[in-house]
Chain A
Amino acid sequence: MNRVPRFDPVIHAPGRLQICAILSAADEAEFAMVRDAIAVSDSVLSKHLKQLEEASYIKLRKQAHAGRQRTWLALTPAGREAFAAHVAELTRLAAMTAPTPLGQGFSG
């Protein structure tokens, strides 16, 4: 995947990073599944989702089933693009900061 690396502060926060990682692996994920996967409370997850929604990175869909309402979350095309660019930037930075094996670095 050739993306232009771009650091995204909205995505980079740990909770939102995990949310985007989960959503990037599926078409949609259910609110409770994401909450349990990243081990946060409903209110903390809602706060993260609000920030991602304000950035137009995710969309929410409500669905009633057996008298219960479920909320399904999905990355928007812009969200997928931003997440891929962020991962590309992280990969680039990680490669830059990776320790140089002995004997291959500057020897003076």
Chain B
Amino acid sequence: MSEDPTPAEALEAIARSRRAVHDRVATGGWRYDLTYAAIMAGMVGGQALEIPFNVFASTFGVLALAVIFQHESRRTGLRITGVSPRRARWVAIAMGLVFAAVMLGIVYLRRTASDVPVALIVAVAAGIAFVLALVGSRVWRRVYRAEMGTGE
């Protein structure tokens, strides 16, 4: 690019830089998404357990999320929280609401359906959370990628 780029050259340089950021984040993305989904499965599934094990599940889950976020930041040289991009944040907010609803559903089920084995509730809840987290994470990446191309 010249020292005094034309508007078209400048816009192309901006798009190129933003694509480079996206590509850096996308490399190794599946590994991050699978780890994230496994942590969410443990956190959500753990809510079906008795006190204090459900508290342990939440605490270790939050700590594990912090650890993978730090690790990803060091690996990519970028810090991107789920809620900072303008459009992709809505995917993150929707995921948060869905996880909250699933957790409340588990608590309700534990109180009302005492004849259902706890192990079954844990397994089903963890499975649902794993799939939701993985799908949500992939959708977030697609929206983020599209956002990188718009210049917003």
Contact = CB atoms under 8 A, between A and B. Distances in A.
B151 A27 contact: no
For this complex, into which size category does the number of interface residues on chain B fall? 20 to 34
Interface residues of A, number: 31
A22 B5 CA distance: 18
Main secondary structure of the interface of A (DSSP, over half): helix
B14 A17 contact: yes
A54 to B, nearest CB: 20
A90 B7 contact: yes
A89 B8 CA distance: 11
A2 to B, nearest CB: 11
Contacts of B76: 33
Contacts of B79: 26-29, 72
Interface of B: 1-3, 5-8, 10-11, 13-15, 17-18, 20-22, 24, 73-74, 76-81, 84-86, 148, 151-152
